[in-house]
Amino acid sequence: MISGRILALLCLSFPIAVRAEPRKPNVILIMADDLGWGDTGYNGNKVIRTPHLDEMAAQGLRMDRFYSASAVCSPTRASCLTGRNPYRTGVFSANVGILRPEEITLPEILRQHGYATGHFGKWHLGTLTAERKDANRGKPGNTREFNPPRKHGYDACFVTESKVPTWDPMRVPAKFRKGESLKMGWEPLEPGRESVAYGTRYWDIDGEPVSDNLAGDDSRVIMDRVLPFIDRAKEAEKSFLAVVWFHAPHLPCVAGPEYQKLYKDHPLETRNYAGCITALDEQVGRLRKHLAKLGIADDTMIWFCSDNGPEGKANGRNGSAGTFRGRKRDLLEGGIRVPGLLVWPAKIREGRATSVPCVTSDYLPTVLDAADIPYPDEDRRLDGISLM
């Protein structure tokens, strides 16, 4: 039997400085939305530029058989936070069910042990308002599906219920037409051009809609909230959990002008798709640079994955599952085998790769093991395993 204790083997390979009172590691869980296994440079993509993810792959642990717990969005997200199969959690598909109140989540546990906890970007585990129309399911009186992050252990958030355009996220893109969702032929709005609201808002931890700093690249908009959260945690001398769930490259896929220029020799849909992935990658690099500047990079675990395989048809221009059959919604390798990375400089001192199967349900038990925190309910079934 192949051992699942990947990190233990890695950590034994390198001397670790002994501290009288070791600080619990910071944890950042990054997820892209509909990013295929073959949509990164380190997995062989010859078009899309992902230099910062490639650097993570070269410096950390590259998990070549990393799987999302589902072939669609929300169930995978539930598995990340609970360590359990999505069917146990009440989240059976996208826009169906909510993360049950009785589930024990990673932010709940870590907050009880002194962590600052924040969630940024997509939520998709329930609605964020029961007072107004918002996104897919939010509407006046819909208390049954009202399930914001503050009910699951977070003390900070900047979240949407579901998808938004990847450029100017609060506005309908130019050339957006009903039934055009798979064509990706949208353009960013020109400055000053009249536009209409997309219909999905960003919400804060108090349940209030956010109205400032929402223009331009959505991945940057999200990271603009992540970095101050990290700064506050460091100032308070707290370890932190930051869950960063980007919207890119989920439809509506729109890249800003500077990112489209990088792919000027390609069709518009490829300029949008590749451009918004490169924009996401840029924010990953910005995050790592900020951690280094604060002097906390070594003690921070950064995980990266996608929630499922790529959108669209296999013969389309965009979205690559590599050599694997299937796409998003398919219980085939291409629908659930996704990019998987971990950097943790204090423990993983040089780049390694593993072909041991790993899954998003492994996050919770692995993080708790790394922080030396027991799971609080011995009788509750976990489906993930610790990789420590």
Determine, yes or no, domain membership for 344: no
Write down the pLDDT at residue 20: 43
58 by DSSP, 3-state: which? helix
73 by DSSP, 3-state: which? helix
Q: Which of 36-50, 183-197, 253-267, 354-368 has the lowest mean pLDDT?
A: 183-197
Determine, yes or no, domain membership for 325: yes
291 is written with which tokens? 């951690």
361 DSSP 8-state letter? G
Q: 336-349 burial string, b = 16+ CB within 10 Å, else e?
A: bbbbbbbbbbbbbb
Write down the pLDDT at residue 177: 61
76, 64, 71, 72: which is closest to 322 by C-alpha?
64
Q: Given a cut of 60, is residue 192 above it in pLDDT?
A: yes
Local confidence band at 23 (pLDDT 50, 70, 90 cut-offs): confident
Question: Which residue, chain included where needed, has tokens 């964020």?
Answer: 128
Local confidence band at 181 (pLDDT 50, 70, 90 cut-offs): very low
Per-residue model confidence as pLDDT tens digits over 97-113 = 999 999 999 999 999 99
DSSP letters spanning 173-204? PBT--TT-TTT---BPPPTT----B-S---EE
Q: Given a cut of 90, is residue 190 above it in pLDDT?
A: no
Give the CATH number for residue 307. 3.40.720.10
**Domain span at 52:** 29-189+196-236+245-282+292-336
Percent of the chain's residues with pLDDT above 90: 85
pTM assigned to the model: 0.95
Determine, yes or no, domain membership for 57: yes
Q: Residue 202: CA atoms inside 13 Å, Cβ hemisphere, count?
A: 26
9, 4, 10: which is closest to 346 by C-alpha?
10
Average model confidence (pLDDT) for the chain? 93
Per-residue model confidence as pLDDT tens digits over 256-277 = 999 999 999 999 999 999 999 9
User: Across residues 195-222, what is the average pLDDT?
Assistant: 97
Sign of the dihedral defined by the CA atoms of residues 328, 247, 318, 254, in that order: positive
The residues near 348 (Cβ < 8 Å, ≥ 6 apart) are: 7, 10, 11, 14, 59, 60, 61, 342
Per-residue model confidence as pLDDT tens digits over 313-333 = 767 778 999 999 999 999 999
325 by DSSP, 3-state: which? coil
Q: Tell me how many domains the chain contains.
A: 1
User: Across residues 289-296, what is the average pLDDT?
Assistant: 99
What dihedral angle (degrees, nearest 10) is formed by the CA atoms of 32, 365, 150, 210? -20
Write down the pLDDT at residue 11: 61
CA distances from 223 to 80, 167, 318 (A): 20, 14, 25
Per-residue model confidence as pLDDT tens digits over 24-71 = 999 999 999 999 999 999 999 999 999 999 999 999 999 999 999 999
Determine, yes or no, domain membership for 388: no
Determine, yes or no, domain membership for 119: yes
Write down the pLDDT at residue 19: 44
Determine, yes or no, domain membership for 386: no
Determine, yes or no, domain membership for 363: no
Write down the pLDDT at residue 183: 59
Determine, yes or no, domain membership for 261: yes
